[in-house]
Amino acid sequence: MHVRRTLIGWERRDLLDTAGLIASELVTNAIKATGDITVSHEEAMLSPDLVTIGMYRTGPYVVIEVWDGDRTPPAPKNPSDDEEGGRGLLLVELMCRGWGYRWPVTGGKVVWCVIAADPGHTPGGKRSRTEG
- The pLDDT of residue 22 is 94
For the domain spanning 2-116, the CATH number is 3.30.565.10
The domains of the chain are located at 2-116
> How far, in Å, CA of 119 to CA of 6, rounded?
20
Beta-bridge partner residues of 130: none
* Mean pLDDT for back-to-back runs of 10 residues, the chain (132 residues): 92 92 91 68 56 91 92 76 67 87 91 80 43 38
Strand duo 61-68 + 98-102: pairing: unpaired
Q: Which helix (H) or strand (E) holds 64?
A: strand 61-68
d(CA 58, CA 79): 34
Q: What is the value of pTM for the model shown?
A: 0.76
Cα gap 35→129, rounded to integer Å: 49
SS3 10: coil
State the pLDDT at residue 124: 46
pLDDT for 33 equals 82
Q: Cα-flanking dihedrals φ and ψ of residue 65, to 5°? A: -125, 135
Write down the pLDDT at residue 132: 40
Phi and psi at residue 25, to the nearest 5°: -65, -45
